Amino acid sequence: MNGCDRPRKFTNFDTSGNPVPPFKDDHELRSYQLEGLNWLAFNWHNGRNSLLADEMGLGKTVQTVSFCRYLLQTHNIRGPFLIVAPLSTTHHWLREFENWTDMNAILYHGNAEAREIMQKNEFFFPGKRTHGVYKFNALITTYETAIHDAPFLNRIPWKVVAVDEAHRLKNRSSRLYLELLNYMRDYCILLTGTPIQNNLTELYTLLSFLHPEIFGEVELEDFKNQYGKLEGSSQVDSLHSMLRPYLLRRMKNDVEASLLPRQETLIEIDLTSAQKQYYKAIFERNAEFLAGNAVSSLMNIGFFLLCCALNCALCFVR
C-alpha cells in the first residue's frame, strides 16, 4: 500500500459545522454510519487499512460507498474502486452506488465472453487506454471472478479494495486469500459481521491480509502465545488495544435504539413425499431403493437420518 501522497490533514465530518456534502436524492447517513465514514477516512489519511465489523443490518455497504464518494468529492480520486462480494449481494452493492452517488459502478461477472465484452467497452474511454484512467469508478465482482480473472484484474492500480463477507479469507492457504493478496491496492477494507468468534487464528489471518507488512512478520504461534486463550483480563485488554486502530465493531442495541427487539418465529414444515420415501427406506435399510435413487451406500446413514428427520424450520428474523 502506497500512502505517501495522501494528505495528512483530516477534517472530521459532523452534522452541523462541517456537514457531509448532500447525497443523491437527499439520502442521509445515520449518526453511527457517519461515524463509520469518519473512521474509514481517518484511517485512509493515516495509511491504515480497516476492518469494518458492524453487526449485520447497520449499513456496512453504504458506509463503504460513502467513503468511495468521499475520495472522489474531497480528494478528486475517481477510482478505480474494487468491490469483491458474494454473487448474492452484488446487485445490492450496485443499487447502493446508484441510489447514493452519481459514480459509474459496473457489475463484472458472467461467462468469459460477457467479461471480454465488458473489458473492451466498459473499462476504457473510446480511443484511450491510459494506464490508471478507467471509464468506471467502481467495479463490483464476485469471489470466483476475482480469482479467475486475477491475471487481468490484479494489474489495475486499485485505489480501494473492499471485500464483503471477509470471513471468507480466514484460511491463509485458500486461493481467494492468495489471489486477492496479490492485487495492487492503495487502501483495503474488510467487511464482516463475524470478525473474531473467539478464534485467534482467523483474526490473525484477517489482520495479516490487511497489513502483511506488519502482521505477516509475526508468526501465528507467537500471536497466539501473546494473547493466549483470552481468559485473563490483561490479555483481553491487550488484544482490544492492538485491534482498536484497525477494527470498528458496533452492535444494533448500542447504536440504533429505534430498531424493534429481534423476534424469532419457527415454522415447522412437513417432509415432502420424496423425503418420506427416503426416510422410510433408511429406517428399513432398503438398499435396493436407495441404490436405485443414486445413493449406493448406507455408510452415511446417520447423516441421511438427520437430514430427513429435521423438519426444515425456517427462521424469520424481524
Lowest mean pLDDT of 53-57, 197-201, 239-243, name the range.
197-201
Quick: pLDDT tens for 19-28: 677 888 888 8
- Say what the pLDDT of residue 62 is: 93
Supply φ then ψ for residue 124, to 5 degrees.
-125, 155
- Cell numbers of 62, please? 453504504
d(CA 270, CA 142): 36
Q: Is the pLDDT of residue 57 over 90?
A: no
**Quick check: 67 pLDDT over 80?**
yes
33: closest CA among 245, 252, 189?
A: 252
Q: What is the pLDDT of residue 232?
A: 60
Q: Is the pLDDT of residue 162 over 90?
A: yes
Confirm if 71 and 159 have CB atoms less than 8 A apart: yes
Residue type (1 letter), 98: E
Strands 264-267 and 314-317 come out as antiparallel
* Segment 309-318 mean pLDDT: 41
pLDDT over 90 at 64, yes or no: yes
Residue-range domain boundaries for the chain: 24-255, 264-317
CA distance 133 to 79: 8
Separation between Cα atoms, residue 196 and residue 230, nearest integer Å: 12
The CATH homologous superfamily of the domain defined by 24-255: Tandem AAA-ATPase domain (3.40.50.10810)
Residue 124 has pLDDT above 80, yes or no: yes
Q: How many helices (H) and strands (E) does the chain have?
A: 15, 9
CB of 3 within 8 A of CB of 160? no
For the whole model, what pTM was predicted? 0.75
Residue for grid cell 470466483: 144
- Phi, psi (deg, nearest 5) at residue 288: -65, -45
Residue 19 confidence (pLDDT):
65
Q: What is the CB neighbour count within 10 angstroms for residue 249?
A: 15
Q: Is the pLDDT of residue 132 over 70?
A: no
Q: What is the mean pLDDT of residues 263-285?
A: 77
Contact 162, 187 (CB under 8 A): no
Mean pLDDT of all residues in 126-149: 84
Q: What is the pLDDT of residue 316?
A: 39
Give the residue-averaged pLDDT of 59-79. Answer: 90
Amino acid letter, 248: L
Q: Compute the average pLDDT of residues 173-199.
A: 84
On the question of a cis peptide bond just before residue 19, with omega within 30 degrees of 0, the verdict is no
Give yes or no for a contact between 106 and 163, defined as CB atoms under 8 angstroms apart: no
Tell me: pLDDT of 39 over 50: yes
pLDDT digits (tens, 9 = 90+) for 76-112: 888 899 999 999 999 999 999 999 999 999 999 889 8
Which of 16-25, 41-50, 203-212, 225-234 bottoms out in mean pLDDT, i.e. has the lowest? 225-234
Give me the pLDDT at residue 293, please. 61
244 vs 189: which has the higher pLDDT: 189
Higher-pLDDT residue of 9, 88: 88
For 271, the enclosing helix (H) or strand (E) is none
Instruction: State the amino acid at position 25 in one-letter form.
Output: D
The whole-angstrom separation of Cα 86 and Cα 93 is: 10
| 88 Cβ contact partners less than 8 Å away, ≥ 6 residues apart | none
> How many C-beta atoms lie closer than 10 Å to residue 160's C-beta?
22
| pLDDT tens-place string over residues 212-267 | 888 766 677 777 777 766 666 666 677 777 788 888 888 887 776 665 666 667 77
What 8-state DSSP symbol labels residue 166?
Answer: G
Say which residue the cell 495522501 belongs to: 6
* Model pLDDT, residue 11: 76
Q: Collapsing DSSP states into helix, strand and coil, what is residue 59?
A: coil
Count of other CB atoms within 10 angstroms of residue 302: 10
Whether the per-residue pLDDT at 190 is higher than 90: the answer is yes
- The pLDDT of 12-19, averaged and rounded, is 66
Taking 70 as the threshold, does the pLDDT of residue 18 lie above it?
no
pLDDT the model gives residue 205: 83
Mean of the per-residue pLDDT values of the chain: 79
Q: Which pLDDT belongs to residue 294?
A: 53
How many Cβ atoms sit within 10 Å of the Cβ of residue 83? 30
